[in-house]
Amino acid sequence: MEPPRRPNSAPGFALWQLGFRPFYLLASSFAALSIALWALQYAGWLDHAYLRGPAWHAHEMLFGFTLAVVVGFLFTAGRNWSNRPTPTGALLAALAALWVAGRVLVLTPFGLTAAVVNAAFPLSAAIALAVPFIAARNQRNYFFIGLLLLMSAAQMLFHLAQLGVIAAPPWIGIQLALDVVLFIMAVMGGRVIPMFTNNGIAGAAATRQPLVEKAALGSVLLLWAADAAQLHGTPMLLLAVLCAAAHLARWSLWQPWVTWRTPLVWVLHLAYLWIPVHLLLRAAAEAGWLAPSLATHALTVGAIGGLIIGMMTRTALGHTGRLLRAGPWETTCYVLVALAAVVRIGVPMLWPEASLHAVLAAAALWSTGFGLYAVVYWPILTRSRVDGRPG
């Protein structure tokens, strides 16, 4: 049951009251619709687009879908961290419009305009986040500003390479941005997953060990530096294995085995497990044992997709005054996204001849999971808090 609404808190349109509301709704809708846009490209209906094929898919899933959720989460959490207001109202709507413009422009022939607008979104978000953080001297979280600036730089690097302005492979911008997202997930996972586990499950004793924490986060930073230097071969293989070991040790300290009866918690543990899986698959790819795309999709579909659907439900429920409990709809979303990851990575590894069918099945599972979230959470994200509080 939802908490009773206060008498003076009449329901109303609340989409622009806090950052998670528009960006969760936009991201989940886009995650579901992007498969249709991919099909239009494949059918030749969008052959005029500046970005097409795998370049469009990688760019949009990273700088479109993922970045929208990151910004929405940071604007929401940043208000609590700093005790200062983050963008709301017209400013929040303008930032959402900037994000939408980026999604549209990559489907037009105007490549340079698309580059500027897309790089401007994380840059603008960084500035908007810096204002409350600096005012509150919230130095502990200053690095999030830097990470958003890195996302802007990596995105511009991708576009300039794609346009032929600089002599660099476009994929380096994608990889560097993926490493930034991996670091964000590692930081936030370490902060919230053990806490949510202990708060949500009686008797759980999830812990954090300082040396393991430093190894897990430090190894991701080393991975980013290695990718920036375009390191490959045995050195990258060994770094990926060491990074995987650190994250697997970290995950085991959180006692994931006690969470299976609590979907709101196990979804986060399951998603985080994909991080060491991704790193081990990346090591295998460096050894030439499998395609690098499998490692990439373990990170994007498994870790990013799983953590996003878990955090989007949890934070939306919590910040609208609802009980922190995953019902049948939420659990269905979790299972669909988790299955998308298993199918997308597992089937091509075990049965390469079925890779095309696996991609199509995983896409359908992914779209259904995020589409279901958008439909079920539309009234939650667009209406006022049930407890009458602002936000």
pLDDT for 42? 67
> Where exactly are the structural domains of the chain?
13-168
Give the contacts of 145 (CB within 8 A, at least 6 positions apart).
126, 129, 130, 133
Q: What is the band of 252 on the pLDDT scale with cuts at 50, 70, 90?
A: very high
Alpha carbon distance 153, 213 (integer Å): 27
pLDDT > 50? residue 5:
no
**Closest CA relative to residue 143, chosen from 157, 131, 130:** 130
Least confident of 33-42, 254-263, 350-359: 33-42
In this predicted structure, what is the pLDDT of residue 48?
82
- In this predicted model, what pLDDT tens digit does every residue of 314-362 receive, in sequence order? 999 999 999 999 999 999 999 999 999 999 999 999 999 999 899 989 9
Alpha carbon distance 384, 391 (integer Å): 8
Query: Which pLDDT does position 233 carry in this prediction?
Result: 95
pLDDT (0 to 100) of residue 11: 58
Q: What does the pLDDT read at residue 105?
A: 97
Among the listed residues 140, 179, 177, the one whose alpha carbon sits nearest the alpha carbon of residue 161: 177
- Rounded average pLDDT over 27-31: 97
Rounded to an integer, the average pLDDT of 285-300 is: 97
CA 297 – CA 361 distance, rounded (Å) = 14
Confidence of residue 52 (pLDDT cuts 50, 70, 90): confident
Query: Quick check: 35 pLDDT over 50?
Result: yes
The sign of the dihedral angle between the CA atoms of 207, 73, 155, 148 is: negative
Q: How far apart are CA 382 and CA 294, in angstroms?
A: 37
Q: What would the two tokens of residue 301 be?
A: 């579909």
Q: What is the pLDDT of residue 391?
A: 86
Is the model's pLDDT at 131 over the cut of 60? yes
The sign of the CA dihedral 306, 37, 74, 318 is: negative
pLDDT at 111 over 70: yes
Residues 296, 360 contacting (CB under 8 angstroms): no
